[in-house]
Amino acid sequence: MGTSTIAIVVAAIASAMAVALWLRWKRAARAEFIRTYTFPKGLFDKLRERRPQLSLKDCQLVGHALRQFFLAYLRGGCRYVSMPSQVTDDLWHELILYTKGYEFFCKRAFGRFLHHSPAAVLGSRRESNEGLRRVWWRACIDENINPRKPTRLPLLFAIDAKLNIPDGFRYLTDCGGPKRRENQADRGAAIYCGGDFSSTGFDGTTDGFGDAGSADATADAGGGGCGGGCGGD
């Protein structure tokens, strides 16, 4: 191999490393923007109009759950995501109504617009299931929870029950499948199970769970920008 060929190879490797480092830096910058973004003034007031039982502290907790959802979208490569919480979905909807502010947020956070997708649970829709598995995986990783064998729930999946949202989704870490259970606080409510996200029992796949084959299936995958479709598209 000649000297010029070696120089070209070295330059190509250096360029690839520089691009990889830049993309990692950009991902980190986007994630930091999401974590530190200041929600619009009056946003929590709008949420409390929908959910008057919530205190300001409760609303702030919902805000943390929404940030976790946005981080899951970013780190999942901006592929399709589904919202697993009714109260967090309410806050997301109110945020979108601040049209220009939400457009600015999306551009800085993702490099593209994130469309709204309704709150959902595992069911017959494959795309929705894939989005839920993706969010479950990322939210678990965010809180150092084993997504396959969770011992507790990430905030985004726990918050409806924690705040006793009447129409909220109730999750347990593992109960062998979604079931109807009765208890004193919530008679007849459906209980959904974190353990089901690794199961093929709903649609014959585990698409979205771990995003096998992505740039980074366990930490901060996603690229500098975002590829693929947006939630709700």
- Answer with the residue of higher pLDDT: 132 or 212: 132
Q: What is the pLDDT of residues 14-31, one digit of tens each?
A: 666 665 565 666 778 999
Q: Does 114 fall in a domain?
A: yes
Number of domains, the chain: 1
Q: Does 204 fall in a domain?
A: no
**Farthest CA pair distance, the chain:** 79
**218: Cβ–Cβ under 8 A, 6 or more apart, which residues?**
141, 210
**176: Cβ–Cβ under 8 A, 6 or more apart, which residues?**
193, 195
Name the pTM for this structure: 0.80
Q: Does 81 fall in a domain?
A: yes
- Answer with the residue of higher pLDDT: 105 or 204: 105
Instruction: Output the pLDDT for position 206.
Output: 81
Instruction: Output the pLDDT for position 11.
Output: 64
| Of 11-20, 25-34, 179-188, 202-211, highest mean pLDDT | 25-34
Region of residue 36 (phi > 0: left; psi between -120 and 50: alpha; otherwise: beta): alpha
- Answer with the residue of higher pLDDT: 188 or 58: 58
Q: Does 185 fall in a domain?
A: yes
The single-letter DSSP state of residue 120 is -
Give the range of the structural domain holding residue 168, as residue numbers without chain letter.
Answer: 23-198
As a whole number, mean pLDDT of residues 94-116 equals 97
Strand segments, DSSP code E, in the chain are 170-172, 179-180, 190-193
User: Minimum mean pLDDT among 41-45, 179-183, 194-198: which range?
Assistant: 179-183
- Answer with the residue of higher pLDDT: 181 or 66: 66
Q: Does 13 fall in a domain?
A: no
Region of residue 192 (phi > 0: left; psi between -120 and 50: alpha; otherwise: beta): beta
Confidence of residue 229 (pLDDT cuts 50, 70, 90): very low
Confidence of residue 210 (pLDDT cuts 50, 70, 90): confident
Instruction: Output the pLDDT for position 10.
Output: 64
Q: Is the pLDDT of residue 169 over 90?
A: yes
- Output the CA–CA distances (angstroms, integers) from residue 14 to 9, 42, 89, 107, in the order listed: 9, 48, 44, 29
Q: Does 72 fall in a domain?
A: yes
Residue type at 65? A
**233: Cβ–Cβ under 8 A, 6 or more apart, which residues?**
80, 115
Instruction: Output the pLDDT for position 222.
Output: 36
Structure tokens at 2: 């000649």
The single-letter DSSP state of residue 197 is G
Instruction: Output the pLDDT for position 58.
Output: 98
